[in-house]
Structure 1
Amino acid sequence: MPTSRLLCWGGLAAASAGAVLSVIGWYGVSGERFAERQIPYLASCTVPGAALLVAGAVLLAAAGRLMGPWDGEEAGVPEAPVSSPEVPPFEPPSSEGPVVCVPGGTLAHRPDCPLVAGKPEVEPVGDRVLGPCPVCEPQV
C-alpha cells in the first residue's frame, strides 16, 4: 500500500502543479498582443503544465491499478443495507377463453389482458387473422 499512496499523492501534486502552470501560461499569453512575446509563456508555463497534467493522470491511473477495486471496507465506511421492495416477475395474463379484440384492432388479446379488460366494445376474434398482443401473448 505505501507505493500506491506515494503514486496517488505524487499524481495529485503533479496534476495540481500542471493546472497552476497552465493557468499562469494562459494568463501570460492572453496579456501579450504579438506572437513573439507569447512564445516564452508557452515554452515556460503552458507546455510544462500540460506535461505535468499528463504525468499526474498517469500516476493516478497507476495508483488506482495498484489499489484494486475499492469495496468501502478499507476506509471504515459501513455498508448500507439495501432494502428494495420485492417486485414479482412479469407474467402475462393466463385466462383461458376465447381470444378477443377491439373493433378495427390489429392485435388479438386474452379476455383478461389489461389492454382490453373492462372495455365494452371487446368482441371475439372469430375468423379474422390478427397478430398476438405483446402483453398477454395469446395463442392465435
Structure 2
Amino acid sequence: MRTGRLRTVHPALWAGWAALATGAVLCVIGWYGISGERYAERQLPYLASCTVPGAALIIAGSVLLTHGRGVIAAARVEELYGLLVAAESADADESAQAAALPLAVSGELLMVPGGTLWHRADCPLVSGKVEAVPVDAKLLASGELGPCPICEPGDETD
C-alpha cells in the first residue's frame, strides 16, 4: 500500500520539500557565518551566498508544495467525477424505467401552509410531512396555488 502511495505523489511535492530543506540549510549556514564575523563587510559574502538564496529556496519550495497539493486535489476530483459518472450510467437504466411511471397517483390533494403549490398525497415533496394539510377549495378557485411539477396532479380536485 505504501509503494502505491509513493507512486502517486506529484514530483512538485518532492521538489518543494527538497527546496525547503536546502533553503533551511543555507539559511543556517549563512546565519552561522554572519554570527562569527564582527564587521559588516565580512558578513556580506555570507548574506549574499547563503542567506538570500536560502530564503529564495524556501519561498520556491512553498510555492511548489502549494502547486503540488493543488494538482493532487484536482486529480482526486477527477477520479471522484469518474466514479460518479460510472455510477450514473449504471443507474440510467433503472431511472429510465422509473421515469415512465408516475411519481404520485393519489387523488387526495395536499398543500403546505405558506406554500404556493398543491400536491397529491403520495408526492415525495409532501409525503411524511406532518404540516401538510388538505387543499382548501377557495385557494384552488382563486388560483393562489399552482400544480406541483413533480407529481403533476393535473386539474383533479377532491
Structure 1-normalised TM-score? 0.46
If each structure's helix is expressed as a fraction of its own residues, which one has the higher value? 2
Structure 2-normalised TM-score? 0.41
